[in-house]
Each structure stands twice: as C-alpha cells, then as structure tokens.
Chain A
Amino acid sequence: MNETIATELYSNPKALAIELKRYGLSLTPQEAIQIKERLGRAPSLAELFIFDIEWSEHCSYKSSKHLLKKYLPVSGRNVIQGPEEDAGILFFTTIDDHRYGIVIAHESHNHPSQVLPFEGAATGIGGIVRDVDCMGASVIGVADPLRFGNPNGNHAERTKSIVEGVVEGIWHYGNALGVPNLGGDVVFHDGFDDNCLVNVVAIGLLREDEIIHSRVPEEGDGYDLILIGKPTDRSGFGGASFASGTLNSENEEENKGAVQIPDPFLKNILLHYKATHEVRRRARELGIKIGMKDLGAGGIACCSSEIGESGGFGVELNLDWVHVSEENLPPEVILCAETQERYLLAVPPSFTPEVLKIYNDDWELPSICSGAGAHVIGKAIQKPVMRVFHHGQLVTELPIDFVVEGIRYQRESEPGVGTFIEPVFAMPDNLNQLFLQMLAQPNIASKEWIFRHYDTEVQGHAVIRPGEADASLIVPIEGCPAGIALSVDGNPFYGEISPFWGGATAVAEAMRNIAAIGATPRAMTDCLNFGNPEAPRDFWALEEGIKGIAEAARKLGPVADREAIPFVSGNVSLYNQSATGRSIPPSPIIACVGVIEDASKAITMEIKASGHLLLLIGERFNELGGSEYYRVLGKGPGANAPIVRYAIEQGIIYGTIQAIDKGLVLSAHDISNGGLLTSAAEMLLATHPRSDLGLKIHPIPPDSALREDITLFSESSGMLLEASPDHADELIELYKTYALDARVLGITTTEGRLLVYDKNDESLIDLSVEEMRQQWRGAFGLTLAT
C-alpha cells in the first residue's frame, strides 16, 4: 500500500503538521502518530482521511462521550432501543398484540446552515429523516429548533437572510418529501450572530418485530453490501471535520464545498412507502434478515465500517463498483464524501438481484436522478478488517474495531460564566404600553410567518399543530386513538447565566409542554450545542449542561429518582463559535416525546368560552434573570435565572396530565418566556380572530411580598388552566394531592379584553385582544421583511 506522507515525517511533528494541513486533514500530528503506531506502518492517504472523520468531534464525541455515559439516563421500561444506532426507539402502543414503537433522532446542522442556509437546513432534514427511516420506520414528522442572531442587532441583514434561507430550506425539502412538520421553536439572541443553530428532530413509527438494525445480521457472512441512491460526488468531502471545527470567514468558499446538496425528490422515491418499503416487505415475506444504515458523516467509510463491525464482521469494498458522478475521483473522496440521499443495505447474495431490480427497474432510480441507482459495492467478511480496493490496488486495510472505536479526550474544565447582577429600577408606570412592546419582541411575537411555510398536514395525522398548543399531536395509526406528542425547548438566555439550570429548565419545559396537551412524557433526545471544548470554560459549561439535563430527567420521572425519563438518542455539536473566538450561549436543546392513549382527550391552549375560570398552578418566584421583561426594559440579563423545583414541577406535570385525563380542563398553557402575563395573553391570542373572548384576572396573591411586575413577568415554571366553575373544587383537590395550590386568578369574558388588576382592584393592564394581536402578529413578519 502506498503511503503518501513519508514514514520519516512521523518523527518530526512540526513537519508532519504542515503535511497534514497540506492535504486538508484536521488530524493533529499526535493523532497521526498514534495511528501509525497502532498500525505498525505509515497509513495510506485514504486511511488518514478515514481517521480524520472517525476521530472528528462530530463522529467520535471525543470530548463528550464520557460525560454522556456518566450522567444521562438511557434505559427504562419504555425503551426499546437506547442511543446506540442511528436512532432511538421507545414503546408507543399495542394493537392486536403487536407492539408499536416510536423512532426518534435529533441532529444539528449548525455550521452548514450558517454558510449556506438553504442547503444546510435542507440537508439537515434529509439526514435526520434517513436516520429514522433506516430503522425500518415510516417517518411521520420532523421539527426544527432554530436559534438565530438578533434581527435588530449589529448583523441584522445577515441574520435576516439566514432566517429566510433556513426557512426556505426546511420547507422546500420537508414539504416535497411528504413528511409533516410538527413545529419546533425559534429563539433570537446576539450570541448566534456568527453561528446560528439549526437542529432537526425526526420521528417515525414501526412495529417492534419489523425493526431493521444498522448492522450486518448474525447470519451475514458473505452478505452483499448494496449502495443505494445518488451517485457519489465530491460534495460534503470533509463535512464531519468541518462540522467539528470553528467557522472562519476566510475559508468561506472552502466551507461551502463541505456542505452537501439535497435532493428531496430522489429521497421521496427511496422513502418507506415506495421502493425501500417494497424491499422490506419482500424480505419479511421471504424470511430474510437484512441490515440497513444511512450514509451521513464520513460517507461510505463510516457507514460500511459501522454496519460491519456492529454485526461482528469485517467488510471488503471495491470502489470501482461505486456509482459516481464523475470519473477519476480519488479513493479517499469516494470513501469519505458525504453525498446526500444514500443508504447501505446488507442482504444475502440470493436476494441481491431482486433488490437491484426493485430500485433500478421497478422504481427507475437511474432515470429519476442522473447516475443514481443501487449497486453492490462489497461484502461482509469474517476477518475483522476494513479492506478497500481501488483500480485493483489495496488502498485500505485496517482493523475494523480500530476504525470505529474512535478516540477520547479528557478536556480541561474551569468554572465560570462571567458576572451577572440583578438590575434595580422603579416599577414602570405604564404597563400597557410596555406589554404591547413586549408582544412585538422577536422572541414573543407570533412565529406564524415561519410555520405557515411548512406542510403540517401531509399524511393526514395532525390533530394539534404548531401555534395551537405547547406541543404538537399526531395520530398516526388509522382506527387507533393513541397519539404522539412532540415538543422542543431550550432557553439560551438561562443557559448563559447558568449552564446547569439552562439544561434542567429545558428538560422541565419540554416535559411541561407535553403535559399541557394531556400527553405523558415518555422519552427525550438532546442536542448539546456548545462552544469550543478545548476552552476550559466552554467545556465546563458543557459538563454543567449535561448534569442539569440529567438531574432533571431523573427527578421529573413519575417517581423521582426511581424512574427517569430516558434519553433514547441525541447529538453533540461543539465548536459553535465565531472566527473571533466568541462562543454561543450554552444551548442544550431538548425534544420530548409524549404519548396519549386516547387522543380525543387532548386539549389546546386557546380560551374556549366565556364564564369559565382561569387557574394558576405554580407559585411565582423572583426569577427574572434572562427574562423577556428585562430585555424589553433594556436592563441586561439579570442574575436570577429560573431554576427547577423538582417537587413543584412534578406536580405541575403529572397533576395537569391527570386533570386533563379526567376531563376537568378546557385549555392549558405553560408559563415560560414572558411570564404569567404573556401566557395569559397567548391563550387569548390563539383564539379565532373573530372571537370576542377576554380575560379578567387578579394574579397578585393578597399575601404576596413580590412587586407586581415580578409576579406578572417572572419566568418561574407554571401552568395556566381554563376550567368550568363546576370543576374548580375537584381541580383544586387534585393538585393538593401534589402539594400544590391551584389558585383561581379570574374569569373568561366576552369583552375581548385582557383586564388585569392588583390587590386593591386597581387596573394593571387593560388592553383589547385586537391591539395585542396586531403587535404580536404583525411585528415578526415586519422585522424580517423590512
């Protein structure tokens, strides 16, 4: 095998560093030396590229893996498969003795989206959908948690064009695919000016006995490896390393080359209910076990080594058999490019002709996308090596466990988040004006401008959609009323003040959102978006964030400390920082999946009728740190970011689920960003524009020691409920069993106004729903359109 970097250079780290850089490799000289020592020879160029990817942060989780392992709960009675393959699986429901599972995966596409927003966001959806699909599932929903820079800040123009590009990318790809968008969330913060976050979540449905694993099956000796989809090109070559580095604007053109090109049209044919569906159906019919895995980071190299190794096999590939888009691609490009819309199938040779016919003839892949198709590119072998030929030459022969085991780094950690102090100021005298202004803030205003682009209705499963409640709800099996709820959360303003509570509150809010429609949280995924792990403070923030998430997941299960809500999959995205070294605010983002056995009981957040009561669950604390209130007043972030009081939070979550199940609640909305007043207003803003419903409330407790504005705007956890007066006593009793006071704040009216009074019955807020709606609805579109 030809070495490209001469053996002698390995004894000269400085010269080696220059040489590695010349080839565009991100490996450090120490890492390259480590590879040489393990192999007992200098690696070939193709081999160096394989390790460049396998040892990148993106693929190996080299800085974070030990933390995730140490802290996160990943098992439980509802876990069918934890975070070990392309996606996790949790138990959904049983129909006719068949157990059904929900598949979920969560990824980030942050760096690509900053550089090429449209393609970056689109391929983000593409990748996550493949992760879920390849488990044997029907993909039934996607969601996008998005974090952008300040649309009114120093980089307003760039931020707006990134927002537009990302939204376009999501709808162009997702809508064409035929997978409904179940929402997501959007937060704007200066800290994302140079590094936006585009996370993507996808969920799928399958029968437990039809799971297809991402590995060559036990009987797989001699199985063919079939590459399906787009012809391999140069796109995304070095993508995983790119995603694991710092964005540097000098390398803009180079960076763009690392972003892949999406093709939702081809993907549509590959997806479950078309060609691949047929392959799986036939395999089941014939009683054949198959393996399937999507090609993502690291392309053919990563995918083939992982599908082989996890099945206990080696793999032998011939790159001349790979369908490519241009002649003379070097072997390392064919091996490592991240061309989109590709899968690898492991099937017995006897089944191969039929598989090829299904893709190439029945579904005409080659005529649908130029150069696309399904081709055998190698096979599973007994010997545990990854062996690759190109033009008759051996270009790679590596112990397969060495390829996939990755590398670990123990990073240095140093506590510290900067100094935060609580502002001191007099109570503002005109809350009406201030509140109208608040409703128009980008982080409060209606996000309808965004989600109206997304197809929320395709597949026909939607019951609760984005904008209608705190979580979305779909009912994916006709004739069965069991529903799947999904929510995503994460507040970077809290994470900035306390990475720990930023993590814990994200878990609490994601779960609370599921509870607010009446579903029960069943599992979570996390995407840990942080800065540079080589910077000790950033690494500390990552550690704290994981600890916070883990603690909340363990303490907010139905029985604290005994039954955690498990994480069935997740992702870590590090090096989110600008070229100047400014890291993003610590931004763990949590997705929570809930289940409701009888989805007809699920409720939305808009006030339903007049003459009902509005109740508050959850005491207000002095927690305005990172609040919308401080921001609108220009008072800085403050210091008292909300924390999670586990006993209270458990009561809010499980009390609300029980109350909705008993039919005692007509609408519910959680308290988070913007506080109690904003949540109450949102319950009116979500009503039909022609409705005349209003609220008349006295939210200040008679014995309250807090100033009125703190009660109204504190972002302490809580829940607002609309209930008929006939059910008030029963509700209050129910929450008492959780040691919580359900406090009646006031009544729903037909006056079309939000009326808020203090202890002495003096007016604090008197606004028409119409004028609030104008601010809330108009502002966001205008911010972006002008």
Chain B
Amino acid sequence: MSSTQPPKVAVLQFPGSNCESETVQALTIVGLQAEIFRWNRPALLLESYDAYIVPGGFAYEDRVRAGVIAAKEPLLDVLSQEAEKGKPVLGICNGAQILLETGLLPGLKPGNIEMALAHNYITFRKHVVRRGHHCGWVNLRSEVHENRTPFTRTLRKGDIVPITVSHGEGRFTSNDEDVLHSLEEQQLILWRYCNDEGEIEEGLPTNPNGSFSNIAGICNPKGNVAALMPHPERAFFLRQVPTTWYGPWGERRRKEIGNSDAWSVPGPGYAIFESLANYLTSE
C-alpha cells in the first residue's frame, strides 16, 4: 500500500442495493477511499481493494430468499478468496444476508451454509405481535474484546450502541445445535440486542426480530469477516439519534439541540467505520 493513498474499500453493488451512497459517505468521512463496485464489472478487479462492504438493500429483489442470488455471483467467489487472505469484509443488513448465504459466515466449515437470517418473528410479552418489515432504533451491546475484529477496534466490551434496524428477515437462526453452541464458544457473537441498561431481554422493544440469543451481528473464527443486521451508516451522526433516546447517547443528543457546531459530531455507529479505518491504517 502506498503511504500517501488512503486504504481502498469496495462497496459492492447488486441490482437492488440501496445503501451504497450513505455507506460510501461514512467510509469517506473516516478517511478511507471508498468506491461503489457494480456487480457486472470484471470480478477480478476486486482483488485490488483492501477491504469490502456488502451494503444493505434488496439484492435481486430478495427472490427465493434474501441474499441467496447475489451469493452465487462471481463477485462473491473473488470476495471469498480475498476474505481467505484475511482482508476485512463486512456485510450490513442485506449484505449480512448475502454473506451468510455464501457460507462465509459463521464460517466454521467455510463454504457451508450453517446459519440463516430468517423472517422476523416479532414478539411482545411472549406473544407474536407481527411478522414482516420492522424499522426503528434499538440498542446493541458489544460482546467482544476490541481486538477481536477490524470492526470493533474502538468499542469496548459491554458498550451500548444505539442503532437503527430496518429489515424483514433479520432473525439469526440455525437448525444445527453445534453451530449455535460454537458461536458462543468461539466468540463469534459480536453484537447482541440489549435493553437500555445493557441487559439481554426477549421481545420488543429490545429484540426487533426474534433473533436467537438476541444476536445482531457475528464474525468468522478468524474475525476478519463480519455480518451486522442493523445499519451503522444510518447512526453515523449524533443528530440521527432520536431525541427521546434513553441513556447517554439520548442525553447528548438533547443537549446539542440548537448547537449547530455539533452538527457533524459522530454518532454511535461511527465507531464501526472508525475501527475499520484504524485497523487498515495501522496494518
């Protein structure tokens, strides 16, 4: 890597992706060079990037099930090959669905599809209140030591990160007990949905989709590939946090009402992009 050029990140674009712009913007603000990489460009050109983000959206219309068609693109073969070399890969929302469908995650036996992001199963006080798309703010709890992945460098274990979710298929699940067991054992769970006090609690308002063990994001055993259902790029500035939010982030948000100098102050999701930038520049 040349010392004058910032590290280069490819943001993969499939027909139906819809978060490319804000993802590129977030990467640019933390000092990385970000480019949208269209699905039908020669896949081998991907090799020249230092890290990869598979952004949110509805790739291939969520046909069959979310992520499954994009997962069969030649692009993903090259992405898997680059991931194998240890380069960071992050799937956000639909990107997470795609990475699970390629078998990159959880990656216990690479190439095998071991987990699914299934239809939301939204419960309140143990009753299913509805299925379908859910959009709103939730809290994440950081579950690992900061060095576990390139995406957690500036987060401490136990940190609470308010963030937005917007998906219809976000429930981490598997029919293989061993896989679920290994997630915990091999420290593959990066983020869990938690309540305002940082406790893990079933159902709304804490868990927006019925995810197993409140999982919101996982990584592979090596830690370089990660999937996150919520959208850090939409919680990138403090101004995006709802004024009603409970806890320190909400208090900060309310305090800055009327302060135009605080307009571009980082929000809770900033840390994930900042972590990647720190990792790539310190490498």
- A453 beta carbon closer than 8 Å to chain B: yes
Within 8 Å CB of A265, what residues of B? 15-16, 58, 60-61
Beta-carbon contact of A455 and B250 below 8 Å: no
Beta-carbon contact of B264 and A479 below 8 Å: yes
A503 to B77, CA, bound (A): 59
Beta-carbon contact of A273 and B20 below 8 Å: yes
- Give chain A's interface residues, CB within 8 Å of chain B: 168, 171, 175-178, 264-265, 268-269, 273, 362, 364, 368, 449, 452-460, 462-463, 465, 468, 475, 478-479, 481, 598-604, 606, 608, 663, 666, 686-691, 781, 785
Extra A-B contacts (15), CB below 8 Å, given A176-B61, A460-B22: A176-B62, A264-B58, A265-B16, A362-B40, A364-B40, A452-B135, A456-B135, A462-B234, A465-B242, A481-B263, A600-B257, A603-B243, A688-B244, A688-B246, A781-B130
**Given A168-B132, A600-B258, A608-B254: A268 and B244 within 8 A (CB)?**
no
Encode B1-38 as 1/0 by CB contact (under 8 A) with A. 00000000000000111111110010000000000001
A171 to B263, CA, bound (A): 30
**Given A171-B133, A452-B136, A455-B133: A604 and B243 within 8 A (CB)?**
yes
Min CB gap B256→A, angstroms = 7
- B164 beta carbon closer than 8 Å to chain A: yes
Within 8 Å CB of B262, what residues of A? 600
B40 nearest CB neighbor, chain A only: A364
Q: Which of B52-74 contact A (CB under 8 A)?
A: 56-58, 60-62
Within 8 Å CB of A364, what residues of B? 15, 40
Min CB gap A477→B, angstroms = 11
CB within 8 A of A600: which of B133, B250, B256? B256
- B87 beta carbon closer than 8 Å to chain A: no
Min CB gap B122→A, angstroms = 9
A688 to B241, CA, bound (A): 13
Beta-carbon contact of B246 and A603 below 8 Å: no
Beta-carbon contact of A455 and B244 below 8 Å: no
Q: How large is the interface on B (under 10, 10 to 19, 20 to 34, 35 or more residues)?
A: 35 or more
Beta-carbon contact of B135 and A178 below 8 Å: no
Within 8 Å CB of B240, what residues of A? 457, 460, 462-463
- B259 beta carbon closer than 8 Å to chain A: yes
A278 to B244, CA, bound (A): 40
Beta-carbon contact of B130 and A785 below 8 Å: yes
A176 to B168, CA, bound (A): 11
A599 to B257, CA, bound (A): 9
Beta-carbon contact of B18 and A601 below 8 Å: no
Beta-carbon contact of B18 and A689 below 8 Å: no
- B205 beta carbon closer than 8 Å to chain A: yes
Within 8 Å CB of B57, what residues of A? 176, 178, 268
Min CB gap B58→A, angstroms = 4
Beta-carbon contact of A269 and B257 below 8 Å: no
A137 to B83, CA, bound (A): 38
Beta-carbon contact of B133 and A606 below 8 Å: no
- B236 beta carbon closer than 8 Å to chain A: yes
Beta-carbon contact of B15 and A600 below 8 Å: no
Within 8 Å CB of A478, what residues of B? 25
Beta-carbon contact of B133 and A601 below 8 Å: no
Can you list 24 A-B pairs, Cβ within 8 angstroms, ordered by A? Answer: A175-B133, A176-B18, A178-B57, A268-B16, A268-B18, A268-B58, A269-B15, A269-B16, A273-B21, A449-B130, A454-B135, A457-B135, A458-B19, A458-B166, A460-B25, A460-B240, A478-B25, A481-B263, A599-B263, A600-B256, A600-B262, A601-B257, A689-B205, A690-B246
Beta-carbon contact of B166 and A455 below 8 Å: yes
- B175 beta carbon closer than 8 Å to chain A: no
The 4 closest A-B pairs by CB, nearest first: A178-B18, A460-B22, A265-B61, A600-B260
Beta-carbon contact of B15 and A268 below 8 Å: yes
**Given A453-B133, A690-B246: A458 and B257 within 8 A (CB)?**
no
Beta-carbon contact of B245 and A459 below 8 Å: no
Within 8 Å CB of B60, what residues of A? 265
**Given A265-B61, A458-B19, A460-B233: A606 and B244 within 8 A (CB)?**
yes
Beta-carbon contact of B58 and A600 below 8 Å: no
Min CB gap B262→A, angstroms = 7
**Given A178-B19, A268-B16: A452 and B129 within 8 A (CB)?**
no
A600 to B20, CA, bound (A): 26
CB within 8 A of A688: which of B58, B245, B260? B245
A642 to B273, CA, bound (A): 52
- B134 beta carbon closer than 8 Å to chain A: yes
A296 to B257, CA, bound (A): 43
A277 to B136, CA, bound (A): 30
Beta-carbon contact of B263 and A600 below 8 Å: yes
Within 8 Å CB of A690, what residues of B? 196, 246
Within 8 Å CB of A608, what residues of B? 243, 254
A168 nearest CB neighbor, chain B only: B132
Min CB gap B173→A, angstroms = 22
Most A C-beta atoms less than 10 A away, residue of B61, B135, B246: B135
- B192 beta carbon closer than 8 Å to chain A: no
A453 nearest CB neighbor, chain B only: B133
- B231 beta carbon closer than 8 Å to chain A: yes
A39 to B94, CA, bound (A): 57
A468 to B243, CA, bound (A): 8
CB within 8 A of A177: which of B18, B244, B257? B18
**Given A457-B164, A463-B240: A663 and B258 within 8 A (CB)?**
yes
Within 8 Å CB of B254, what residues of A? 608
Min CB gap A35→B, angstroms = 43
Within 8 Å CB of B58, what residues of A? 175-176, 264-265, 268
- B252 beta carbon closer than 8 Å to chain A: no
Beta-carbon contact of A603 and B257 below 8 Å: yes
A602 nearest CB neighbor, chain B only: B257
Beta-carbon contact of A460 and B236 below 8 Å: yes
A782 nearest CB neighbor, chain B only: B129
CB within 8 A of A686: which of B20, B21, B205, B244? B244
